[in-house]
């Protein structure tokens, strides 16, 4: 009898507790459900997602140092090399975001990985600048005293504004992390709704304006820095126009209504980055809100 009872107890202990949460189930409950079979492509996708985020974090650190203190390499024939380096960041950056480019790459790159590709290419372009940029001792301006303090204050505030502006639209969307998590969880990526708030209710491109502050607010402007600033200022102007058209392509009339009441940049009322035309602000805002609610309802239904 004692032997039989011990065998029954061992049998019960060997059976899994139906209420227990095993690690795999915990992962699924958290929304990151790995697929049952681990393939080479899945391992590659996992490594790509994690590596891209690490590369992004490292690039931000180098970018801060590069813009704040400048490079130390002083070599002859700097102009042509620096100009090409500045352009190799600007041109692919806009090309990768174009809807036609996304369609062209779709047979080889899943939609959930396009954000990772864009982030990785951006980081690599910046790393090339950090590695090969050549400086010069020709100084355009060098501030001191209260002017230097004001410029440094503008530089640091631009960083705060940049991070805050990105957070409004989702840092994970900028780095590709959010899209990647949907792939990892094996779930469908939902459509993003358009709801302008905070800085985006005042002007359309707070991220670009913050980036302008990073390259303009410097107490020591060398000639090579001036070249970088000039190229990237033109890029931001053109990129802002392209972004408006890209968002209008994806969002349709909701974004056009937004353009009718919110300028691209503060104090700009005319031109491609101004207000499109006169319209009733309340009516347009209500239209944007209604479309956002309709998108949210469709996403929940899906």
SS (H, E, C) the chain: CHHHHHHHHHHHHHCCCCCCCCHHHHHHHCCCCCCCCCCHHHHHHHHHHHHHHHHHHHHHHHHHHHHHHCCCCECCCHHHHHHHHHHHHHHHHHHHHCHHHHHHHCCCCCHHHHHHHHHHHHHHHHHHHHHHCCECCCEEEECCHHHHHHHHHHHHHHHHHHHHHHHHHCHHHHHCHHHHHHHHHCCCCCCCCCCCCHHHHCCCCHHHHHHHHHHHCCCEEEHHHHHHHHHHHHHHHHHHHHHHHHHHHHHCHHHHHHHHHCCCCCCCCCCCCCCCCCCCHHHHHHHHHHHHHHHHHHHHHC
Structural domain includes residue 173: no
Percent of the chain with pLDDT over 90: 56
What is the C-alpha to C-alpha distance for residues 128 and 130, in angstroms, rounded to an integer?
5
Average the pLDDT over 103-111 and give the result.
86
- For 216-222, what is the mean pLDDT? 96
Global pTM value:
0.76
Percent of the chain residues topping a pLDDT of 70: 79
**270 in a structural domain:** yes
Q: Which of 64, 120, 132 is nearest to 92 (CA)?
A: 120
Is residue 83 assigned to a domain?
A: no
Q: Which residue has the higher pLDDT, 18 or 209?
A: 209
In a domain, 290, yes or no: yes
Residue 163: inside a domain:
no
Count of structural domains, the chain: 1
- With 80 as the cut, is the pLDDT of residue 247 above it? yes
Whether residue 284 is contained in a domain is answered as yes
In a domain, 291, yes or no: yes
- Does any domain span residue 140? no
Q: Return the pLDDT at 288.
A: 54
Higher pLDDT, residue 25 or 204 = 204
75 against 133, higher pLDDT: 133
pLDDT in tens, 116-171: 999 999 999 999 999 999 999 899 999 999 999 999 999 999 999 999 999 998 89
Look up the domain containing 278 and give its range.
252-295
């Amino acid at each position: 009898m004692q032997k039989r009872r011990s065998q029954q107890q061992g049998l019960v202990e060997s059976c899994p507790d139906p209420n227990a949460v095993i690690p795999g189930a915990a992962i699924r409950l958290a929304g990151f459900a790995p697929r049952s079979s681990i393939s080479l492509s899945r391992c590659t996708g996992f490594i790509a997602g994690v590596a891209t985020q690490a590369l992004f974090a490292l690039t931000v650190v180098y970018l801060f140092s590069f813009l704040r203190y400048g490079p130390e390499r002083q070599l002859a024939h700097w102009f042509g090399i620096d100009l090409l380096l500045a352009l190799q960041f600007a041109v692919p950056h806009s090309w990768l975001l174009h809807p036609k480019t996304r369609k062209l790459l779709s047979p080889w790159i899943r939609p959930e990985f396009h954000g990772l590709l864009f982030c990785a290419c951006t980081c690599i372009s910046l790393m090339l600048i950090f590695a090969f940029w050549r400086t010069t001792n020709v100084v355009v301006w060098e501030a001191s005293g209260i002017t230097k303090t004001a410029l440094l204050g503008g530089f640091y505030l631009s960083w705060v504004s940049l991070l805050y502006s990105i957070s409004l639209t989702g840092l994970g969307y900028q780095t590709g992390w959010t899209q990647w998590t949907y792939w990892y969880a094996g779930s469908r990526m939902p459509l993003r709704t358009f709801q302008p708030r905070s800085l985006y209710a005042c002007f359309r491109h707070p991220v670009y304006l913050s980036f302008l502050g990073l390259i303009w607010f410097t107490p020591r402007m060398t000639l090579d820095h001036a070249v970088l600033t000039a190229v990237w200022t033109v890029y931001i102007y053109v990129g802002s126009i392209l972004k408006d058209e890209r968002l209008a392509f994806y969002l349709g009339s909701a974004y056009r209504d937004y353009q009718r009441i919110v300028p691209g940049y503060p104090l700009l009322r005319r031109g491609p980055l101004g207000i499109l035309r006169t319209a009733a602000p309340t009516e347009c805002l209500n239209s944007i809100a209604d479309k956002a609610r309709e998108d949210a309802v469709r996403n929940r239904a899906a």
